[in-house]
Amino acid sequence: MIKSNNSYSELPEAFFKEIMPSSAISPELLAFNSQLAKELQLDLEKSTPSELAKLFSGLDLFPNSKPIALAYAGHQFGNFVPQLGDGRAVLLGEVISIEGERFDIQLKGSGQTPFSRRGDGRSSLGPVIREYIVSEAMNALGVPTTRALAAVTTGEMVFREEELPGGIFTRVASSHLRIGTFQYFAARQDITNLKILADYAIERHYPDSTYLSFFEKVCHNQARLIAHWMSIGFIHGVMNTDNMSISGETIDYGPCAFMDIFKADQVYSFIDRQGRYAYNNQIQIAQWNLTRLAECLIPLIDDDSQEAIKKLEAVLATLPTIFENEWLKKMRLKLGLLDEMEEDGPLIVDFLNDLQVRGQDFTNSFRNLSSQLEQKDAFPILMRWRERVRSQSLSTQEIIDHLDATNPANIPRNHLIEKAIQLGLTGDYTLFNRLNEVYQSPFTIQSGCEDLQKPPEVHEIIQNTFCGT
């Protein structure tokens, strides 16, 4: 049961539109995250699969639920769109977890809303399966992320390039506030609502902050998040400002992918023709997005806009160093370096270059480091690494334990997700379920899962990923 006061729907009218999810014909439950439901105190232990399917397709509503579609704007691939909004998503309401934290529960793919523009408001099954697997894997990897609560098939077909079975994904987020939400009001010069939004965001995520320190904290969380992505070879694929959460969670798993062979400028998203959101461009893009947020905040920071700009620019000037430091922190840990030395930056860069030149798998190369620690013969870069990692006052076992707890053995590889989707389209969810199970313990070598650790064979490599919208 939703035990909350649905704080977002109490904000002024301009923030959302009330909308009922359109009813699915014959929803069937594909997956239900009962552990998460418990943490959210949803009280669904006794619900049958068919009751859950009704709930997570919008056929039945939670008590106290007041469904709304949220308004937001955003820069899509650098172009500003003043009105985007939830075009295929409906916020059912908010819940308070056992820990006392507030979360949004949202259906994705439940039909048209006033923000749908030309879209059908629906989702095909593929993106539902992808988001379920990847968001739960990210959580198990320790990356701040929205969560997967449930997935259903709708019993209807949706029309994309081809006819595909429809699905609905239930997303849990610590909020759906995005940079694009700020842009929505800033673009309309609606300072009253901009201030209400900022006050709301501060109260919900960064209590007791001033507007300026709120901005600083959002920057810090973004820097930590992007560094985390980079450290596991994750490419978000569509870092538009409407897909950048104010809380610092990963949000909107569209054409995302984990890299197999390391390539610094890797792009998977089919629509990202310029490589704007390439692996190694993510730090720059996050800073570009934060600069857009800074622009929105000008009227709140100081009555004198020149003064406000000066203050915001001072923060923006620190971003390259903040991002670099967060990246260094994460990458040091991957190499088993718990102390800091000047030479670490160049060592990390050379290590990655070496992976690229030799066409090595990103995940497995780091995972294998623990077994390379005591080997003698090796490449120059490994010798250099060994010398550095050994310079610490740690035992071999301590280093090995640390490396294995930092470098995952199992990440959701693209070709496996694709296989799970293709099987799912035929009604076979065994691989989908198996992947969800394995990715809950990404740092553990699991017997019988050797096949999942292998990079794709040449014929299995996925060149492009799609939003599926």
Distance CA(354)–CA(357), nearest Å, equals 5
Indicate whether 237 belongs to the interface with ligand AMP (CB under 6 A).
Answer: no
86 binds, among ligand AMP, Mg ion, none (CB under 5 to 8 A by kind): ligand AMP
- DSSP, collapsed to helix, strand or coil, labels residue 54 as helix
Please say which residue, 333 or 467, places its beta carbon nearer to Mg ion.
467
* DSSP string of 10-29, one letter each residue: GS-GGGEEE-PPPPPSS-EE
Task: Give the residue, chosen from 21, 85, 248, 336, that forms a contact with ligand AMP under the rule CB under 6 A.
Answer: 85
Say which entry of Mg ion, ligand AMP, none residue 408 contacts (CB below 5 to 8 A, set by partner kind).
none
CB distance 14 to 62 below 8 Å: no
Confirm or reject binding of residue 84 to ligand AMP (CB under 6 A): yes
Query: Closest CB to ligand AMP among 242 and 418?
Result: 242
The yes or no reply on residue 252 touching ligand AMP (CB under 6 A) is yes
The Cα–Cα gap between 338 and 216 comes to: 26
Cα separation, 114 vs 101, whole angstroms: 30
Q: Does 175 bind Mg ion (CB under 5 A)?
A: no
Among 73, 173, 197, 238, binds ligand AMP (CB under 6 A): 238
Specify the residue, 40 or 417, whose C-beta has the smaller distance to ligand AMP: 417
Instruction: State the minimum distance, in angstroms, from the CB of residue 86 to ligand AMP.
Output: 5
Which DSSP letter does residue 334 get?
H
Q: Which two tokens stand for residue 411?
A: 């990440």
Provide the CB-side half-sphere exposure for 97 (13 A, CA).
13
Q: Least distance in Å: CB of 226 to ligand AMP?
A: 18
CA dihedral 387→389→390→391, nearest 10 degrees, is 90
Find out whether 249 and 145 touch, Cβ atoms under 8 Å.
yes
Contact stretch for Mg ion (CB under 5 A) within 250-258, 264-272, 293-301, 415-423? 250-258
Cβ-based nearer residue to Mg ion, 243 or 453: 243
User: Both tokens of residue 73?
Assistant: 């704007």
Count CB neighbours of 342 within 10 A.
Answer: 7
Q: Which is nearer to ligand AMP, 93 or 255 (CB)?
A: 255
To ligand AMP, the closest distance from the beta carbon of 11 in angstroms equals: 19
Cβ closer to ligand AMP: 184 or 362?
Answer: 184
**Least distance to ligand AMP, CB of residue 295, Å:** 21
Of the candidates 86, 104, 242, 361, the residue annotated as catalytic is: 242
Does 404 contact Mg ion by CB under 5 A?
no
104, 136, 216, 252: residue in contact with Mg ion (rule CB under 5 A): 252
Q: Using CB under 6 A, which of 135, 243, 414, 465 touches ligand AMP?
A: 243
In whole angstroms, give the CA distance from residue 21 to residue 214.
34
289 binds Mg ion (CB under 5 A): no
Q: Give the residues across from 151 on adjacent strands.
A: 31, 169
Residue-wise burial string across 81-117, b where 16 or more C-beta atoms lie within 10 A, e elsewhere: beebbbbbbbbbbbbebeeeebbbbbbbbbbbbebbe
* Closer to Mg ion by Cβ: residue 135 or 243: 243
How far is 74 from 193, CA to CA, in rounded Å? 17
- In the list Mg ion, ligand AMP, none, the entry touching 120 (Cβ below 5 to 8 angstroms by class) is ligand AMP
- When computed from its CA atoms, the radius of gyration of the chain, rounded to whole angstroms, is 23
Compute the distance between CA of residue 216 and CA of residue 56 in angstroms, rounded to an integer.
37
| Cβ contact 125:423 at 8 Å | no
Whether 190 is catalytic: no
At closest approach, how far in Å is the CB of 252 from Mg ion? 4
- Element containing residue 396 per DSSP (H, E): helix 396-406
Cα separation of 311 and 315, whole Å?
A: 7
Binding positions for ligand AMP, 97-136, rule CB under 6 A: 115-116, 119-122
State yes or no: residue 83 binds ligand AMP (CB under 6 A): no
Scanning the structure block, which residue is given the tokens 């997005």?
A: 289
Q: Please list every residue from 255 through 274 that binds ligand AMP, using CB under 6 A.
A: none
Contact pick of 58, 86, 171, 212 for ligand AMP (by CB under 6 A): 86
Stretch that binds ligand AMP, among 4-12, 83-91, 220-228, 442-450 (CB under 6 A): 83-91
| DSSP structural state of residue 457 | P
Q: How far is the CB of 171 from ligand AMP (least distance, A)?
A: 12
Minimum CB–partner distance for residue 85 and Mg ion (Å): 10
Contacts of residue 6, defined as CB under 8 A and 6 or more positions apart, other chains included, come to 64, 65, 66, 93, 94
Whose tokens are 């707890």? That residue is: 405
Q: CB burial class (10 A; 0-12, 13-18, 19+) of residue 68?
A: buried
Give the footprint of ligand AMP on residues 408-467 (CB under 6 A). Answer: 467
Cβ distance to Mg ion smaller for residue 252 or 326: 252
Output the CA–CA distances (angstroms, integers) from residue 73 to 87, 140, 354, in the order listed: 12, 31, 41
Nearer to ligand AMP, 75 or 88 (CB): 88
Binding site for ligand AMP (CB under 6 A): 84-88, 115-116, 119-122, 238, 242-243, 252, 254, 467, 469
Positions marked active-site: 242
Binding site for Mg ion (CB under 5 A): 243, 252
